[in-house]
Amino acid sequence: MNAKRAFKYRFYPTGAQAAELSRTFGCVRKVYNLALAARTEAWALRQERINYNATSAMLTAWKKTEELAYLNDVSSVPLQQALRHLQTAFTHFFAKRTKYPRFKSRKKSRKSAEYTTSAFRFRDGELTLAKMAEPLDIVWSRTLPEGAQPSTVTVSQDAAERWFVSLLVEDPAVQPLPFTETAVGVDAGSVHLLTLSTGEKITNPRHERKDRGRLSKAQRELSRKAEGDGANRAKARRKVARIHARIADRRRDTLHKLTTRLVRENQTIVIEDLTVRNLLKNGKLARAISDAAWSDFRSMLEYKAQWYGREVIAVDRWFPSSKLCSNCGRLQDTMPPHVRTWTCDCGTTHDRDENAAKNLLAAGLAVSACGAGVRPQRSTPGGQSATKQEALWRKP
């Protein structure tokens, strides 16, 4: 069976279609919040766990009330899908993978609705959603796999008020690539986006910095608009959102091209298990780290590696990749962030990032050989104990 892949396109709805989708977004949000409130109340008052079937029965009852009768005006499928998404959120919460589900906000939450096969028609390259008479005007920026039939369609609108439709289809092109013995270590940075163990350095495009002037000006204009100044404030907010969208689109495009190249060229890719959330607490580096989008890079790399039969190894975040000599294995006591090149006692001069990438590759291959979950270890010249060695590792 072929892997499933989502193909995302922009589309331009008619006035009637935009109104219908906006109503659907609002109803999806309402049903999700009602179900979340019901599940929370049931547990708080009676220690009772309500599942998807119970909330589905509640939805039927809600539609019969005068207050929520408007839920009948939109397709029932996106509403049922909202309940399924809530069930998934609770499943992840009980498995301790995520926090407790939160209520959806009208202003801040993502506007989206998911349709399954019973709620749309895809024929001759035209997509028509339930409750709509005309097909969507989609810009087919890339072709779907031949003969593809979507199993799920998700419609969304971003903060810049752009409309998107995502079609989930089986893609026969997603197959394991031919085996190669090539492996690479990847060190993420802010000066250079990535440094490879081969010595190649990939420049950080700094997409946010390029538009920082325009963004600052737009944000100042927005701040001058009073909360009650509806039309003008909305216009200023859209301007800010469009600049953010432009930055995000270029960043995503860069990362997609980069991760696809790494996966195609290498059988094994070794990265560092960085805690980006904690790194963002550093006020001096937060903007550069956000612009580099390390989390997005890792996410793309991992799912593409899974698609194409490659391996991604994440080395323990405390592994001293920068302080360890990749030639002799000697561990330096300290390595301040401003030091970009250094010379080991063995006489080898290192580029900090290239040396780190080489050490990550060696540690990752050791993990692969010893088994998953093995923490990379290197003995130090002084023969320190594991506890003392880890303390040294945690120094800058």
pLDDT digits (tens, 9 = 90+) for 46-88: 888 899 999 999 999 999 999 999 999 999 999 999 999 999 9
Answer yes or no: are the C-beta atoms of 356 and 197 closer than 8 Å: no
Q: Round to whole Å and give the CA distance between 233 and 284.
A: 31
| E strand or H helix that includes residue 22 | helix 15-46
> Active-site residue 272, yes or no?
yes
pLDDT given for residue 394 in this prediction = 42
The helix (H) or strand (E) run that includes residue 128 is: strand 126-129
Pairing of strands 183-188, 268-272: parallel
- Specify the pLDDT at position 377: 40
| pLDDT value of residue 283 | 60
Give the separation between CA 161 and CA 322, rounded to whole angstroms. 44
- Each residue of 175-190: pLDDT tens digit? 899 999 999 999 888 7
Active site residue 170: no
Q: Which of 169, 164, 168 is nearest to 9 (CA)?
A: 164
Amino acid 86: pLDDT: 96
Whole-number pLDDT of residue 279: 66
Residue 72 DSSP symbol = G
Tokens of 253: 């495009």
Q: Out of 20, 114, 208, 353, which one is annotated catalytic?
A: 353
The angle formed by the CA atoms of residues 302, 278 and 373, to the nearest 5 degrees, is 45
Q: Verify whether residue 353 is a known catalytic residue.
A: yes
Identify the active-site residue in 187, 208, 291, 354. 187
| Cα–Cα distance measured from residue 82 to residue 115, given in angstroms and rounded to the nearest whole number | 10
Give the angle 340-345-351 at the CA atoms, nearest 5°: 20
Instruction: Select which of 114, 208, 272, 291 is catalytic.
Output: 272
d(C-alpha 298, C-alpha 273), whole Å: 9
Could you identify the residue written with the tokens 């009772």?
A: 48
20: left (phi over 0), alpha (psi -120 to 50) or beta: alpha
Q: Which pLDDT belongs to residue 344? A: 86
* Those residues with Cβ within 8 angstroms of residue 187's Cβ, 6 or more apart along the chain or in another chain: 194, 195, 196, 272, 321, 353, 354, 356, 357, 360
pLDDT at 343: 86
Alpha carbon separation from 227 to 161, 198, 205, 220 (Å, rounded): 20, 54, 35, 14
Q: Which residues of the chain have pLDDT under 50?
A: 372-396
- Position 376 scores a pLDDT of 41
Q: What is the pTM of this model?
A: 0.82
